[in-house]
Amino acid sequence: MTSIATKNILSMNFTAKNFSETQAESKGMNAFLSLREAARKNGIQDMSLDEINEEIRLARNETENNKNG
């Protein structure tokens, strides 16, 4: 049989875990919303997946070219 003290400790750990997960979700959502706002301000909020992939490809090529001098 589980003691009352053990039940309370288990309950507190569970509550603390949920609180941390909620904080992480909130921080993640705030970061996401901040990125969306930055995209809107820079006029790139409506980029297609193909356009995004092309930007990534160009950035990778630029980085590779900089490494090779």
11-44 pLDDT, tens digit each: 545 455 566 777 878 888 899 999 999 999 999 9
Q: Provide the residue count of the chain.
A: 69
Give CA–CA dist 12/9, Å, rounded. Answer: 5
User: What tokens were used for 43?
Assistant: 């006029």
- Locate the domains of the chain by residue range: 4-67
Confidence of residue 6 (pLDDT cuts 50, 70, 90): very low
